[in-house]
């Protein structure tokens, strides 16, 4: 059980290197050192290092005061608690002034026996024993914990129980106690811990439930942090949750929990969680006491002998008998006991409740769990023999609760069967001999197999207990049917219990019959007495005794009936009072009604309602008083103060009976008021309400969510009165209902106020809406004017640009004659300037469209590789001129993107153009595309997939302070750069907004003189196909060819083109270019002329300007398409407008193609020839 420890094991109990300070060290410095070691202890708590953790705990629990290698004293956690309780100032206090001296010590050479050290600790009631060497120098110390850890008496701890060593007298405190009070309790009782409890249990049997614990170590930590013990509550500091054991647990269980949880104390609790005691590591050490070991050995020896004798005797007397009976009865008893147990359990559950619905609900749940079927329900017969489902248990989504069923197919026959108490069993409705109508009804009720058991209330058929399978047939076992039949009997009892009033009438009737039989018996006795005179004396004596007994029984019955009648009258009165106070929402009317009704019911002299306000004021707000006694209504007090006992009583909703107000120990200061008011006796019932919001004042319960609104008081003024408990309970019930009525009235007043405020808010909202409507109209008008302005500006700017760029293109192609190299250079300059102006106009319009929310994206699935290659084509020439190296990096198996291809290409070209513009010669530009996959650990979006485009250059870079302004419209970060590098300041703003319209994002990283990396992340759906890879041989190449009419052909075969245009510059530009290409041109300057010329000349193709005086181009195209002779002539719409929907409107009006000004003449010629070729092929 316990082996003697060898010297090496004893040395393991020695805690070396304890904290050592000098005598002039301040107390705060010593506490700081203890707290520091404790902090290290908290951070190194592991199961593998239990001994190291134990040594750290021991070092943190005390300091040794040593000077000149001599031990002067010891300062422990208990000393810190004592100083805290005395509220001493610790800043300037030296350790010499507070140490414990002299100190109980032990020389290391004498430390040869574990029990000797244990006895020293217990004898002097200390927890630290310093160990000295032969020269009285400190070697270390031993504690309860280190001795217990070294001994490890496993077998002994398994045999000892908690209740044998636990401390039953536990000093406790509440969670709202201040830490100063906790420290004072520790110092007063010389304890190492205080248990924090809160009340529990019932009103008659209050219990203390442990919720936390505060130890000396917490006080030390508090002082180390220089916190104020006076203001901090225990609930903020206590260790929680509490780990607990039961009184009959072994000390080995305690040892394991302490080691696993690394704690030193466990609460001992009962069955309801109540506090019974506490067990600490010191208690475990008590088990090592030699006297305890000796006593335990004697007890175990006696118990072993007794148990062995009892065991032999029991085996001899019962073995033969058990062997004979067990095989024959085992199977039968198990099966029968199980059924009886289940029936009994359900019967007890049914009888434990007087609520019929609760009984029925409990029954169907228990039956379904027992039989493992799909559905169990109870049907009740109505007057017309329809059935309604009143209780059900099922996993099906179809609920039959409240559903009425009428079996018109066979209800008469089956009803008679049920009246006879016969059970109807059906294993499979498809095999049963029932009508199709009845089978269809069962299918609708999801029934495949069923058992129907009739339920009776007395002799009347009340309903049916229905057990069904929904999907599969089932062969019902006889035991299952017997069980349901037994349950139907229990349900019949429950139904009988639910008709209490009827039974009461029957009992009264039976009692009257018994009295009649008694009178008849008395008459028979009289007749018998006359006939048998010889036995008159004996018979008379017996008759008198019998009559006395009957009179006693009758008196008891009369008293019982009177008591029941009184309770009934009070319940009826309570119901009437509740009904009256609920009929009104006026709080004054409610209080007046209650006080008058209570005064009449309890026959009292005065009833008052005493109101308590949050600020401490109080007032008698209502009263009903007899005329001969003084009225107290409207009396008020400024600062109402009650004792804690009254608070606790009222917060628990308990009424208080005061038979004599002059001897009321809880309210002595009210004696004078009671004398002036002529109060002799009283009952006080609290009016409690739920706490709402963050309400906090003196009437709010600290641990319960209720508050004391006031009290309802009944006075006996004429003479002292002995109140009954039933009267107090009736008054409390009325007070509870009054609290509900007061709360409802208050809520009604708040509702009225809120309705008034809401009506005012609605009126203000109506005014605001009217003002908002006017503002919206003005905003819509301003938006329309802006759109019209942009459209007009687009037309006015593009029209002259069309002529400028067109003439330039014609001159470059030598349409008007041969040009020199110097002239060709000038023409290129004009073309670049015009193109730059056109880009500016396009960017301005795009920004305006985006800000107006009118831009529409044309989504289509595109190949990422082709998108990147086609974008690079636009900058290759510029990069070649600056000898910039272009590189494209595409991740393999890239998915296709669902985007507006033109807009995203615009984004990439813009970023690539900027890269070329700001990258010096011989630099490098890289376009890289990779996939970004969702991070499941950081997002809930399971489909968040992105393609990451990165344009990296080795350009001039951007400073961090300029990056935030880079994506704003019309902003360029440096005016010097603006002069050096041309730009509109709109490109990156467009990039950002187009990407955001696609649900993506734009990013930038840059470093001055190193380069920049612009990134865009575009979302994609993983279900799209993989974008095909493009190699150098696969790059798209478009060869645009068109055939000019041969000059050798006759003029009649040369295509005739109708040019409808009102601008002379554009007429000259387009007509000159097309004539040079070999086409014939005919002109019209408005829509009507275009129609007339088309009808007379029948051109091969029409170039139609949209904005012309008189009839515009859209209307002209519509008129032309109405003419059957002109319906096949191809029409190309030319417009300087660039607003959303222009292309769709032109195509809808009849155009075959659409070009936006300024147009490229070469592109125009290509389009014309393609349309002419297509028309020729069709013919």
User: Other C-beta atoms within 10 Å of 233: how many?
Assistant: 14
Q: Which two tokens stand for residue 787?
A: 């759109």
Is the residue at 843 inside a domain? no
Q: Which two tokens stand for residue 948?
A: 């990451």
Per-residue pLDDT for 65 more than 70? yes
> How confident is residue 246, by pLDDT bands cut at 50, 70 and 90?
very high
Residue 106 near residue 129 (C-beta atoms within 8 A): yes
Among the three residues 449, 465, 498, which one is the final residue of a domain in this structure? 498
Mapped onto helix, strand or coil, the DSSP state of residue 141 is: strand
Is the residue at 1108 inside a domain? yes
- Which among 76, 48, 277, 80 is positioned nearest to 168, based on CA atoms? 277
Per-residue pLDDT for 429 more than 80? yes
Q: Can you list the alpha helix ranges (DSSP code H) found in 583-699?
A: 587-602, 644-651, 671-676
What H or E segment, with its residue span, contains residue 1065? Answer: helix 1064-1076
- Which among 396, 388, 516 is positioned nearest to 446, based on CA atoms? 396
Same domain, 868 and 960: yes
Select the more confidently predicted residue: 1002 or 974: 1002
Per-residue pLDDT for 1044 more than 60? no
User: From CA 451, how far away is CA 484, in angstroms rounded?
Assistant: 9
Residue 923 near residue 1010 (C-beta atoms within 8 A): no
- Which among 1140, 569, 1100 is positioned nearest to 855, based on CA atoms? 1140
Burial (Cβ within 10 Å: 0-12, 13-18, ≥19) of residue 323: exposed
Residue 907 near residue 897 (C-beta atoms within 8 A): no
Per-residue pLDDT for 1056 more than 90? yes
User: How far is residue 1074 from each of residues 1097, 1133, 1158, measured CA to CA in Å?
Assistant: 18, 16, 16
The predicted structure's pLDDT at residue 972: 58
User: From CA 638, how far away is CA 616, in angstroms rounded?
Assistant: 7
CA 64 to chain CA centroid, nearest Å = 53
Same domain, 471 and 541: no
User: From CA 1037, how far away is CA 319, in angstroms rounded?
Assistant: 105
Same domain, 736 and 597: yes
Is the residue at 920 inside a domain? yes
Average pLDDT over residues 1132-1161: 82
What H or E segment, with its residue span, contains residue 762? Answer: helix 725-812
> Interhelix angle for 587-602 vs 536-582, to 10°?
170
Q: Which two tokens stand for residue 548?
A: 């006395």
The predicted structure's pLDDT at residue 390: 92
Residues of the chain with pLDDT > 70: what percent?
Answer: 83
- pLDDT winner (highest mean) among 164-168, 249-253, 449-453, 1027-1031: 449-453
The predicted structure's pLDDT at residue 1033: 39
The predicted structure's pLDDT at residue 353: 67
The predicted-structure confidence for 882-905, as pLDDT tens digits, reads as follows: 899 999 999 988 898 899 888 898
Is the residue at 786 inside a domain? no
Same domain, 461 and 516: no
Same domain, 537 and 494: no
Instruction: Tell me the CATH number at 364.
Output: 3.30.450.40
Per-residue pLDDT for 880 more than 90? no
The predicted structure's pLDDT at residue 172: 93
Per-residue pLDDT for 935 more than 70? no
Residue 966 near residue 926 (C-beta atoms within 8 A): no
Domains identified in the chain, total number: 7
Is the residue at 1015 inside a domain? yes
Dihedral (CA of 553, 558, 559, 565) sign: positive
User: From CA 664, how far away is CA 682, in angstroms rounded?
Assistant: 10
Same domain, 447 and 517: no
> Interhelix angle for 290-351 vs 356-371, to 10°?
110
Same domain, 96 and 32: yes
User: From CA 967, how far away is CA 130, in angstroms rounded?
Assistant: 75
The predicted-structure confidence for 758-772, as pLDDT tens digits, reads as follows: 888 888 888 888 888
User: From CA 283, how far away is CA 258, in angstroms rounded?
Assistant: 12
Select the more confidently predicted residue: 1064 or 1105: 1105
Strands (DSSP E) contained in 364-484 are: 375-381, 387-394, 404-405, 424-426, 449-457, 460-469
Q: Which two tokens stand for residue 106?
A: 């032990």
Q: Which domain holds residue 18?
A: 7-152
Instruction: Tell me the CATH number at 252.
Output: 3.10.580.10
Per-residue pLDDT for 105 more than 70? yes
Per-residue pLDDT for 907 more than 80? yes
> How confident is residue 836, by pLDDT bands cut at 50, 70 and 90?
low
> How confident is residue 799, by pLDDT bands cut at 50, 70 and 90?
confident
Residues of the chain with pLDDT > 90: what percent?
Answer: 18
> How confident is residue 753, by pLDDT bands cut at 50, 70 and 90?
confident
User: From CA 476, how far away is CA 428, in angstroms rounded?
Assistant: 10
The predicted structure's pLDDT at residue 1012: 92
Average pLDDT over residues 627-638: 84
Same domain, 253 and 375: no
Nearest 10 degrees: Cα torsion 13, 17, 22, 27:
-70
Backbone phi, psi, residue 603, to 5°: 50, 50
User: How far is residue 1073 from each of residues 811, 1055, 1067, 1083, 1086, measured CA to CA in Å?
Assistant: 9, 14, 10, 14, 21
Same domain, 951 and 1064: no
Instruction: Tell me the CATH number at 1076.
Output: 3.40.50.2300
The predicted structure's pLDDT at residue 155: 56
Select the more confidently predicted residue: 407 or 250: 250
Instruction: Tell me the CATH number at 981.
Output: 3.30.565.10
Is the residue at 700 inside a domain? yes
The predicted structure's pLDDT at residue 854: 65
Backbone phi, psi, residue 873, to 5°: -60, -35
The predicted-structure confidence for 481-529, as pLDDT tens digits, reads as follows: 888 888 888 888 878 777 665 566 677 778 888 888 888 877 777 776 6
Ranking 92-96, 196-200, 565-569, 621-625 by mean pLDDT, the lowest is 565-569
User: How far is residue 1007 from each of residues 956, 958, 971, measured CA to CA in Å?
Assistant: 8, 6, 20
Same domain, 63 and 165: no
The predicted structure's pLDDT at residue 1051: 41
Residue 244 near residue 166 (C-beta atoms within 8 A): no
Strands (DSSP E) contained in 691-770 are: 706-716
- Which among 791, 772, 790 is positioned nearest to 780, based on CA atoms? 772
Residue 174 near residue 198 (C-beta atoms within 8 A): yes
Using a cut of 0.75, tell me whether the model's pTM lies above it: no
CA 1011 to chain CA centroid, nearest Å = 49
Per-residue pLDDT for 241 more than 80? yes
Same domain, 628 and 605: yes
The predicted-structure confidence for 1090-1132, as pLDDT tens digits, reads as follows: 999 999 999 999 999 988 888 999 999 999 999 988 999 999 9
74: Cα within 13 Å, side-chain hemisphere = 21
SS3 letters across 943-1004: CCCEEEEEEEECCCCCCHHHHCCCCCCCCCCCHHHHHHCCCCCCHHHHHHHHHHHCCCEEEE
Ranking 42-46, 90-94, 327-331 by mean pLDDT, the lowest is 42-46
- pLDDT winner (highest mean) among 167-171, 301-305, 985-989: 167-171
Instruction: Return the DSSP state at 161.
Output: B
The predicted structure's pLDDT at residue 1034: 43
Same domain, 1015 and 1147: no
Average pLDDT over residues 428-438: 88
Among the three residues 288, 307, 334, which one is the final residue of a domain in this structure? 288
Among the three residues 236, 257, 288, which one is the final residue of a domain in this structure? 288
Is the residue at 837 inside a domain? no
The predicted structure's pLDDT at residue 971: 57
For tokens 């001897």, name the residue: 663
User: From CA 657, how far away is CA 858, in angstroms rounded?
Assistant: 85
SS3 letters across 803-837: HHHHHHHHHHCCCCCCCCHHHHHHHHHHHHHHHHH
Is the residue at 999 inside a domain? yes
The predicted-structure confidence for 681-706, as pLDDT tens digits, reads as follows: 989 999 888 777 667 777 887 776 78
The predicted-structure confidence for 301-335, as pLDDT tens digits, reads as follows: 666 677 777 777 777 777 766 766 676 667 666 65
């Amino acid at each position: 059980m316990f082996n003697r420890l060898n010297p090496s094991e004893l040395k393991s109990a020695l805690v070396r290197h304890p904290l050592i300070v000098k005598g002039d060290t301040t107390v705060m410095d010593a506490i700081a050192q203890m707290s520091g070691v404790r902090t290290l202890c908290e951070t190194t708590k592991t199961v593998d290092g239990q001994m190291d953790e134990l040594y750290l705990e021991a070092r943190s629990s005390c300091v040794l005061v040593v000077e000149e290698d001599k031990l002067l004293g010891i300062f422990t956690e208990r000393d810190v608690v004592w100083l805290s309780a005395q509220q001493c100032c610790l800043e300037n206090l030296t350790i010499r002034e507070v140490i414990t001296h002299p100190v109980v010590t032990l020389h290391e050479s004498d430390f040869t026996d574990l029990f000797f050290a244990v006895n020293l600790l217990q004898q002097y009631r200390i927890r630290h024993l310093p160990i000295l060497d032969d020269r009285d120098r400190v070697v270390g110390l031993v504690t309860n914990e280190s001795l217990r850890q070294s001994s490890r008496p496993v077998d002994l701890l398994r045999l000892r129980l908690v209740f044998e060593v636990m401390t039953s007298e536990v000093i406790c405190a509440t969670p709202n106690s201040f830490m100063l009070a906790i420290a004072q309790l520790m110092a007063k009782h010389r304890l190492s811990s205080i248990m924090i409890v809160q009340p529990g249990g019932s009103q008659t049997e209050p219990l203390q439930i442990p919720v936390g614990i505060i130890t000396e170590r917490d006080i030390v930590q508090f002082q180390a942090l220089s916190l104020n013990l006076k203001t901090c509550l225990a609930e903020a500091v206590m260790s929680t949750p509490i780990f607990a054991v039961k009184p009959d647990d072994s000390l080995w269980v305690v040892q394991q929990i302490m080691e696993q949880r690394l704690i030193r104390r466990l609460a001992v609790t009962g069955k309801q969680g109540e506090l019974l005691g506490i067990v600490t590591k010191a208690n475990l050490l008590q088990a090592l006491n030699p006297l305890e070991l000796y006593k335990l050995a004697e007890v175990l020896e006696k118990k072993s002998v007794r148990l062995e004798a009892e065991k032999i005797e029991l085996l001899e007397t019962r073995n033969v008998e058990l062997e004979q009976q067990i095989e024959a009865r085992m199977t039968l008893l198990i099966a029968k006991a199980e059924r009886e147990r289940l029936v009994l359990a359900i019967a007890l559950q049914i009888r434990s409740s007087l609520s019929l619905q609760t009984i029925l609900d409990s029954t169907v749940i228990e039956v379904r769990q027992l039989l493992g079927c799909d559905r169990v329900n109870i049907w009740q017969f109505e007057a017309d023999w329809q059935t309604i489902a009143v209780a059900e248990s099922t996993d099906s989504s179809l609920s039959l609760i409240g559903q009425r069923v009428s079996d018109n197919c066979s209800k008469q026959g089956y009803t008679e069967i049920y009246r006879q108490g016969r059970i109807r069993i059906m294993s499979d409705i498809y095999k049963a001999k029932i009508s199709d109508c009845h089978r269809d009804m069962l299918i609708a009720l999801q029934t495949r197999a069923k058992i129907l058991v009739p339920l009776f209330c007395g002799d009347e058929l009340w309903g049916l207990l229905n057990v069904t399978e929904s999907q599969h047939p089932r062969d019902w076992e006889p035991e299952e049917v017997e069980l349901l039949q037994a349950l139907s009997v229990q349900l019949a009892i429950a139904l009988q219990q639910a008709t209490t009033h009827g039974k009461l009438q029957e009992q009264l009737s039976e009692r009257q019959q018994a009295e009649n039989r008694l009178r008849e018996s008395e008459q028979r006795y009289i007749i018998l007495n006359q006939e048998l005179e010889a036995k008159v004396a004996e018979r008379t004596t017996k008759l008198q005794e019998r009559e006395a007994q009957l009179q006693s029984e009758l008196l008891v019955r009369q008293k019982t009936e009177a008591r029941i009648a009184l309770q009934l009258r009070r319940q009826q009165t309570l119901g009437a009072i509740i009904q009256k106070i609920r009929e009104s929402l006026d709080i004054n009317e409610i209080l007046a009604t209650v006080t008058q009704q209570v005064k009449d019911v309890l026959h009292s002299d005065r009833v008052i309602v005493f109101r308590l306000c949050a600020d401490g004021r109080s007032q008698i707000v209502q009263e009903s008083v007899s005329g001969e006694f003084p009225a107290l209504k409207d009396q008020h007090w400024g600062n109402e103060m009650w004792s804690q006992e009254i608070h606790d009583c009222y917060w628990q909703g308990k009424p208080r009976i005061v038979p004599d107000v002059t001897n009321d120990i809880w309210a002595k200061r009210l004696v004078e008021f009671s004398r002036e008011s002529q109060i002799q006796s009283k009952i006080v019932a609290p009016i409690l309400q739920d706490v709402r919001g963050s309400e906090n004042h003196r009437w709010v319960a600290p641990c319960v969510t209720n508050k004391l609104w006031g009290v309802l008081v009944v006075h006996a003024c004429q003479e002292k009165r002995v109140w009954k408990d039933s009267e107090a309970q009736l008054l409390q019930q009325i007070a509870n209902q009054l609290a509900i009525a007061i709360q409802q009235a208050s809520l009604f007043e708040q509702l009225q106020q809120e309705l008034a405020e809401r009506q005012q808010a609605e009126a203000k909202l109506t005014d605001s809406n009217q003002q908002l409507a006017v503002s919206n109209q003005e905003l819509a008008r301003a938006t329309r004017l802006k759109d019209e302005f942009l459209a007009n500006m687009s037309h006015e700017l593009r029209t002259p640009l069309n002529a400028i760029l067109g003439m330039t293109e014609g001159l470059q192609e030598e349409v008007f004659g041969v040009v020199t190299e110097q002239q060709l250079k000038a023409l290129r300059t004009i073309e670049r300037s015009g193109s730059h102006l056109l880009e500016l106009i396009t960017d301005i319009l795009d920004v305006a469209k985006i800000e107006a929310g009118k831009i529409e994206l044309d989504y289509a699935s595109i190949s990422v590789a082709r998108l990147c290659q086609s974008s690079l084509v636009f900058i290759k020439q510029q990069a070649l001129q600056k000898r910039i190296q272009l590189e494209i990096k595409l991740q393999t198996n890239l998915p296709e993107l669902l985007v507006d291809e033109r807009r995203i290409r615009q984004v990439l070209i813009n970023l690539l153009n900027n890269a070329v513009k700001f990258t010096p010669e011989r630099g490098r530009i890289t376009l890289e595309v990779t996939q970004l996959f969702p991070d499941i650990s950081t997002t809930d979006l399971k489909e968040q997939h992105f393609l990451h485009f990165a344009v990296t250059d080795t350009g001039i870079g951007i400073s961090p302070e300029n990056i935030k302004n880079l994506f704003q419209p019309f902003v360029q970060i440096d005016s010097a750069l603006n002069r050096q590098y041309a730009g509109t300041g709109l490109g990156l703003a467009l990039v950002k907004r187009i990407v955001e319209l696609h649900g993506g994002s734009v990013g930038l990283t840059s470093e001055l003189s190193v380069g920049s990396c612009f990134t865009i992340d575009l979302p994609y759906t993983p279900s799209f196909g993989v974008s095909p890879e493009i190699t150098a041989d696969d790059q798209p190449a478009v060869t645009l060819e068109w055939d000019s009419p041969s000059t050798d052909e006759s003029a009649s075969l040369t295509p005739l083109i109708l040019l409808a245009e009102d601008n002379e510059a554009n007429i000259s530009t387009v007509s000159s270019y097309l004539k040079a290409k070999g086409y014939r041109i005919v002109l019209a300057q408005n829509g009507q002329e275009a129609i007339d010329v088309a009808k007379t000349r029948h051109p091969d193709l029409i170039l139609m300007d949209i904005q012309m005086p008189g009839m515009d181009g859209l209307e002209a195209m519509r008129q032309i398409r109405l003419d059957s002779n002109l319906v096949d002539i191809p029409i190309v719409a030319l417009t300087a407008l660039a607003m959303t929907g222009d292309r769709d409107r032109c195509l809808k009006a009849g155009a075959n193609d659409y070009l936006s000004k300024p147009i490229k003449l070469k592109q125009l010629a290509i389009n014309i020839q393609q349309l002419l070729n297509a028309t020729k092929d069709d013919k």
